[in-house]
Amino acid sequence: MKTDSVLVIIPAYNEEDSLAKTIEKVKQYLPNTEVIVINDGSIDRTAEICHALKINVLSLPFNCGVGAALRTGLVYGINNKFRHMLILDADGQHPAKEARKLLLKATDQNIVLGVREFMNYDFSRIRRIAHKLLIRALSVRSNISITDPTSGFRVFSLIAAKKLFSQIESEYLADTVGILQRAKTMEIEVLEVPVSMEPRLDGVASNRGYKLAKRYILSLLVLFIGRIDS
């Protein structure tokens, strides 16, 4: 896989603590890729860090949510005709060294999803149950069998990105679970590749506790009663 046609998209919201380390790792393991950080209205030094590291940054004027940040990155990739777009979390949970596994499986049509084995991670009991429910709901409602539907570690082909970008909403795990549903209705192939993920390098997740529970509940509702336009 040639990496010079790969765009690495890093959506970031107040990730000054971990962003520099994440970018360093990308430069180390994926040296010929273009990196773009989507600064989702951060109020910390996220944008400054990108400028200091001479990394291209697209700054949304205010916090629009990860879905909007992802959409912005994909539009940039589509406009600049990158063959593949790799999405990485800014908090360092998606190791750049694992990205090659995803890129090796990427074709001109598909989406490749880096999946973690949940049993190996220190997630709370409630989160595990919510996750299992989500997997079950996806299977029942959309006939999709995915081990880790909330994984944000993905590679989009240019064709898949073109088909999907306008459908990405800003909320309720729409950037992950919602995309899988839409990919299924549009007959875009989704491949799973097992990867190991790492704990956050620094800082705290913006979605945790009550907010995370709310997102899972709303996602389940959207999965069951939401309309999917193809």
Q: Which residues bind another protein (CB under 8 A)?
A: 38, 56-62, 64-65, 68, 71-72, 75-76, 79-80, 169-170
Distance CA 71, CA 68 (A): 5
Q: How far is the CB of 37 from another protein (least distance, A)?
A: 11
Nearer to another protein by Cβ, of 73 and 149: the residue is 73
Q: How far is the CB of 163 from another protein (least distance, A)?
A: 18
Nearer to another protein by Cβ, of 68 and 179: the residue is 68
Q: How far is the CB of 174 from another protein (least distance, A)?
A: 11
Q: How far is the CB of 71 from another protein (least distance, A)?
A: 6
Q: Are 71 and 168 in contact (CB under 8 A)?
A: yes
Q: Which distant-in-sequence residues (6+ apart) come within 8 Å of 227 by Cβ?
A: none
Q: 125-142 and 210-225 helices cross at what angle (nearest 10)?
A: 10
Nearer to another protein by Cβ, of 190 and 222: the residue is 222
Nearer to another protein by Cβ, of 36 and 190: the residue is 36
Distance CA 56, CA 41 (A): 15
